[in-house]
Chain A
């Protein structure tokens, strides 16, 4: 494989297993740049990457920005507060104006599902989905896959359990699709009010009992819990959630001895995971963050590789 089929990264649902492997391999070859004393290489010099964040983000925004700079691209981030959106401009007009300035890639995060797909129809630049509503967060799933592959040497055959608000998590959605495509066995677990209908269709099992769900797991991914979703309480309290679904040291004992613990961040310590578990040697949460930069470098490189260098 020498290039991706699509010029956009809209979701894991659009990527084949072969493409995912190709992205992970590319990230692997780029990762060593992050350990150099001078962390900058020239391949994307003169390329323009614009990040549009219509939702708050620290980690993802920084990660995309750093990835662009490491590759010498010109990168600019706009957050919803500073854009014209607050002046009543439609999203499509905003995007058309940005297109008129000839960027190569637009990275977009938006609170509504399908927005990256929508704007990809109106512009020539490549679109990378940095999280759309409760739909997908493909670069997060790719960095999760990368981190697991780096740790175990493979993904196929691993037992992966995702715990938390599956229904409102774009990370869960992309992770289920990604781990399933790469041959892992995925189980989701959480309060039944947070399990979406027909989630099995995405390629996972559903378990309503945490101990059964995590039993013999190789990987446990805990998701951030927000009690209120659009004013609707899906759980009685965070306290009860942490009692029934929180990852404690006791829960960790049901996993395989070699198992690892992941979280897309930001963490509510003491809610989805106990503090001691977060800081334990089983947790590879910070590796995920490092790998995120490599994955985003890989996405930029692959999307711009074939567009006729100068």
Chain B
């Protein structure tokens, strides 16, 4: 049993309870025991003064790739959760594109057990929609949910057959679960390696039109409307997608969506020089799209921020652009980017950041967490909004280093992460 912890004089921000004020927070037996002003420290409690720091419900990332089993040279569950905890995350949801893919109870249990033995942040697996991510037959939703899966997605191999997608959405209704769609019309994106536009023409690189995402987002929203099922659109990257989802929400379709920090921070301009660290799927878009993503985050069309943390070894990034792997790591830069771009540049309130990174991701997938009510598990992130640091290669905790943000300076980060009342990350110095 871990000793009680009393956090003193923190700025407690908990949108679920409408809180944003200076308070103390007492954790006992892994739960939030009390949240009030001037709390007394019980016997044996560790007292931590948090003057000037924020105390928020633990951050939740519903889209990461932990690569295990199968690609342990890119990331392991252990290194992934280490990176997550240092980024302030108390729970991550890992995508099923492992090898073999997570389409059965055994692999789901393996992931959960590995995560428990690492003992840092909580891991909730997302299982395949179809067996082997092949887009042919549905995987066994009931078994997978029983084993601990929290949602279904075929990740980067989208379900191309619309009828099968309809069936997946219908079948999800039996279990009140969520289908996460990587919405991409492959016949339009095929061969493309960056956004189709001015920069792709300048660099002589094949483009992926925005329409490749938007026609698929439209199809999936239409199928969600038809079936009444819960659909979550992954990594929204274009203005058009935001508009389609906004309209679907207005009609009452049960659709939610996420975007990744790079889509509100970067544009296709970063690809210039054949920068493979700016290669991802969907690709970085234009300034117009970036602004529309920020508006979507502001008005609630986009429910949450998820990193799409995608570790890759140097070999597949230090190579020909067309052959380079898609994706970047993001667990350690997500919060610093949200504070920099959304809060400082765009005027988002700290409360809105917490909604986007904790409360809403929990709501979207129906996960425990995202609030600090008395009796809730003590999953807590302590943020120092003024902590300045440079994200340098040697500081990266993920096993891979594929980030376009290396050597960038930030102000604001997680300085402590608490899971079930236990401190799993504490910034030194």
Contacts and interface: CB of A to CB of B under 8 A. Distances in A.
Interface of A: 13, 90-92, 110, 112-115, 117-118, 132-136, 170, 173, 196-199, 201-202, 230, 232
Contacts of A114: 203-205, 274, 320-322
B315 A90 contact: yes
A196 B201 contact: yes
B203 A135 contact: yes
A173 B207 CA distance: 15
Given A90-B319, A201-B198, A117 B274 contact: yes
Given A113-B274, A114-B274, A201 B191 contact: no
A113 B273 contact: no
A256 to B, nearest CB: 29
B273 A198 contact: no
Contact of B319 (A91, A117, A134): A91
A134 B206 contact: yes
B86 interface: no
B220 interface: no
A170 B204 contact: yes
B142 to A, nearest CB: 41
A196 B319 CA distance: 25
Nearest to B198: A198
A254 B320 CA distance: 43
Interface range on chain B: under 10, 10 to 19, 20 to 34, or 35 or more? 20 to 34
A135 B197 contact: no
Interface of B: 191, 196-198, 200-207, 273-274, 315, 318-323
Given A117-B273, A197-B207, A202 B202 contact: yes
A112 B201 contact: no
The 7 closest A-B pairs by CB, nearest first: A135-B204, A114-B274, A113-B204, A198-B198, A112-B320, A112-B322, A134-B204
Given A117-B273, A202-B202, 15 more contacts: A13-B202, A90-B319, A112-B320, A112-B323, A113-B321, A114-B204, A114-B205, A115-B320, A132-B204, A133-B205, A197-B196, A197-B198, A201-B201, A201-B202, A232-B191
Q: Give the most central of B200, B202, B319: most A CB within 10 Å.
A: B202
Contacts of B320: 91, 110, 112, 114-115, 118
B197 A197 contact: yes
Q: Which of A118, A170, A199 has the most CB of B within 10 A?
A: A118
Contacts of B206: 134
A202 B201 contact: yes
A92 B201 contact: no
B392 to A, nearest CB: 20
A1 B344 CA distance: 47
B286 to A, nearest CB: 11
Given A118-B274, A134-B206, A197 B200 contact: yes
Contacts of A91: 319-320
A299 B196 CA distance: 33
Q: In the complex, which of the residues B201, B205, B321 has the most CB atoms of chain A within 10 Å of its own CB atom?
A: B201
A136 B196 contact: no
B201 A197 contact: yes
A135 B205 contact: yes
